[in-house]
Structure 1
Amino acid sequence: MPNASNEWSSELVPVNDRTDAWEDVLSQSYRDWQVPQRLPATFYAHVKHHHFAGAGIVETICDPCVGERTRGQVRRDDELYVGVQLTTGGRERFRIGDSGVEVASGDLVVWTTNQVVKFEVLERLHKVTLMIPWSLMRERLPERKTPPSGGKIESRTGVGSLLAVHLLALSNQIGSLDETVQGSVSRSTLELLGIALSGQQPAATFDASAATLRRVQDFILRHLHEEDLNPARIAEANNISLRYLHMLFQRSDLTVSGYVLNSRLHMCKQALTDPAFHRLQVSEIAFRWGFNSVSHFCRTFKERYGLSPGDMRRSALRTSLNGVSE
């Protein structure tokens, strides 16, 4: 008899209901989770959940999003599970307790449901997760007295590599795997996992807010040339709330708009002092880096650098010529 499975797609859910539906699917697949930020209308996800000899195998594809398992949800949960995730595409960041890991294609990560966990999908993610009740794991691996700590398993070499290949093959074949052999396959899987856990890498402490701020700043620098680069658009593009975006920038000396303006002024200054841009007019440089008013650009440039754009260019040219003459 083929293995039973459940399948879900965001495409079957009205746009306004997708955040709640996604939260429900996460909770059905990985124990209780919450989605703290509303999903964009373009959000896509597909989940297939297979039942596997008392455990579960969850195949997930999803766009960037955030989810968290709070302290309250941990306290209310009456059964401990161990999650073993193989990422097959995309990038995701985990915060597990006070520590964190970032995973990409080919990485294996372990987490447990008795810890506060937060995930952030950074780019469209493809993953396979084995969800194992701790009671089952303890029964099959009696030498392991405590659940594994959260973190990576080395998956490029050794037993970790074998486990990664095994999980991928298992996810591909689980739909046709007869129930009569599932127990044997489950035992082999857990024995392989037990060996691989001995080489588990500890999760490094990291500052999730600082990492998100760097990601947002990178986005801003890539889109400086676009006139509509405002806080609302920046927040939506990075799947965070507008309020959280402003909170991130409270860590620095600049507001969101101030960071955008300073970055544009800096790029314009570089262009004005670079001979490669000598043929461009001041207005062309201003428009190239997202300013839509030449007078506003000239005023703010002089306030920032003490020289008008034209004077900055002439000063750089004189310095260059003097250097050549010497």
Structure 2
Amino acid sequence: MDAETWSTQSHHGTAQFEAWRHALSRTHLDWDLRPSRTSEFHADIRERVLDGIRVVECFCDPCEGSRRKPELRHSNEAYFGVLFELSGHEIIRQGDRQAELSAGDFVLWDSEREMDFKVTSRLHKLTLLIPKFRAKRLEWDVERFAGTVVKNSSAVSGISAEALRRLARDFTAIEEKDAEAVMQPILSLLMATLTTRQEPASASVAHRDHFSAFCRFIGNNLEDGRLDPRTVAEAHGVSLRYLHTVFAHNNDTCCNFMRRERLRRCHADLSRPHCRDTITEIAFRWGFNDAAHFSRAFKAEFGIAPKTLRRK
């Protein structure tokens, strides 16, 4: 596929930013965009697919945008994005992480998580959109690096930055037959850099963000008897292995957390003075499917049998 180009030069006045809104959503997924000023807006895009990865080079004036639930719902595919700053300045926020990016810095972001950006000066950037199925097929545990910023401050990150600069310069001239040979070493280099550069504190923040999201999802779906760890992982676009890693990081397991939360909901219902539901009805409502197993688990958790609690 040859490179496609787009520019605001063919538009005038306020139509320029509207055209940019549509162009960015086409090349970088759906975003809710806001201009930083009301005068003319200038932007240029070059885009190409290399070895199944969308490579997008972009110049743009200051603006800001966000991806929230409406934009997330409009996206049919899931990606990991690598955003590399060639020049200019940008502020990125995903989850509880916020980072300021300057020339030579890059960040990994997750298209299935809410995100904000603010371009504060004329920007030149390169974005790689890597399909999630591609990363998982290669057994890259990418989820734990989402939101990680790599600053251009060492020899390791400098090598990655130079590779991305060269890709931005040459990607339109790469022949199709050479695409895999070019992209695979770059992806491996980026993963190696993320692995070596991620600080323990950053890992803890990533785990905390995901752990909170997993727990909220479980709490909102406890009545579904089919809820299991795989369902939770798939709902968040992460691997089952990563889900178990996050719970282990919090000295817990997903299955134990689900069981405890279901038992707590049952305990709350059984403790209500005017609850007319039977013990079995309550147990089944909160995802248990065996009354005897529920009674044993309940007594092991709270030191009292369901019937005894109800009598009290």
TM-score range, shorter chain: 0.5 to 0.7
Q: 1:36 aligns with which of 31, 34, 37?
A: 34
Q: Structure 1 101/203 Cα, relative in aligned 2: closer, same or farther at 3 Å?
A: farther
Q: What per-residue deviation string (whole Å, max 9, x for no partner) do you get for residues 191-249 of structure 1?
A: 111111112353999xxxxxxxxxxxxxxxxxxxxxxxxxxxxxxxxxxxxxxxxxxxx
Q: How many residues align?
A: 202
Q: 2:143 aligns with which of 136, 142, 146?
A: 146
SS of 2:121's partner is strand
Letter in 2 for 1:21: A
Q: What is residue 106 of structure 2 aligned with on the other side?
A: 108
Given that 1:19 and 1:38 are in contact with CA atoms closer than 8 Å, whether structure 2 keeps it comes out as no
SS of 2:122's partner is strand
- What does residue range 168-183 of structure 1 map to in structure 2 within 5 Å? 168-183=165-180
2:147 is aligned with 1:162 = no
Q: Structure 1 176/43 Cα, relative in aligned 2: closer, same or farther at 3 Å?
A: same
CA-CA distance at 1:103 after TM superposition: 0.7
Given that 1:159 and 1:195 are in contact with CA atoms closer than 8 Å, whether structure 2 keeps it comes out as no
Q: CA RMSD in A?
A: 2.2
Q: What is residue 190 of structure 1 aligned with on the other side?
A: 187
Q: What is residue 289 of structure 1 aligned with on the other side?
A: none
CA-CA distance at 1:12 after TM superposition: 1.0
Q: 1:72 aligns with which of 42, 54, 70?
A: 70
Given that 2:69 and 2:114 are in contact with CA atoms closer than 8 Å, whether structure 1 keeps it comes out as yes
Q: Which runs of 5+ in 1 are unaligned?
A: 206-326
Q: Structure 1 182/29 Cα, relative in aligned 2: closer, same or farther at 3 Å?
A: same
SS of 1:51's partner is strand
2:124 is aligned with 1:91 = no
TM-score by length of 2: 0.60
Given that 2:65 and 2:118 are in contact with CA atoms closer than 8 Å, whether structure 1 keeps it comes out as yes
Structure whose CA Rg is larger: 1
Q: Structure 1 149/14 Cα, relative in aligned 2: closer, same or farther at 3 Å?
A: same
TM-score by length of 1: 0.58
Q: 1:21 aligns with which of 4, 19, 32?
A: 19
Given that 2:16 and 2:42 are in contact with CA atoms closer than 8 Å, whether structure 1 keeps it comes out as no
Q: Structure 1 170/31 Cα, relative in aligned 2: closer, same or farther at 3 Å?
A: same
Given that 1:33 and 1:73 are in contact with CA atoms closer than 8 Å, whether structure 2 keeps it comes out as yes
Q: What per-residue deviation string (whole Å, max 9, x for no partner) do you get for residues 49-79 of structure 1?
A: 1211111111111111111111222234232
Q: What per-residue deviation string (whole Å, max 9, x for no partner) do you get for residues 142-198 of structure 1?
A: 142636321302432243221111111112111111101111222111111111111
SS of 1:156's partner is coil
SS of 2:169's partner is helix
2:123 is aligned with 1:125 = yes
CA-CA distance at 1:37 after TM superposition: 4.4
Q: Distance in 2 between matches of 1:190 and 1:143?
A: 10
Q: Which runs of 5+ in 2 are unaligned?
A: 206-312
Identity of counterpart residues, as a percentage?
A: 28
- What does residue range 152-301 of structure 1 map to in structure 2 within 5 Å? 152-198=149-195, 199-200=197-198, 202=202
Q: Structure 1 41/11 Cα, relative in aligned 2: closer, same or farther at 3 Å?
A: farther
Q: Structure 1 66/184 Cα, relative in aligned 2: closer, same or farther at 3 Å?
A: same
CA-CA distance at 1:42 after TM superposition: 2.2
Q: What per-residue deviation string (whole Å, max 9, x for no partner) do you get for residues 108-162 of structure 1?
A: 111111111111111111111111111112223x142636321302432243221
Q: Structure 1 38/124 Cα, relative in aligned 2: closer, same or farther at 3 Å?
A: closer
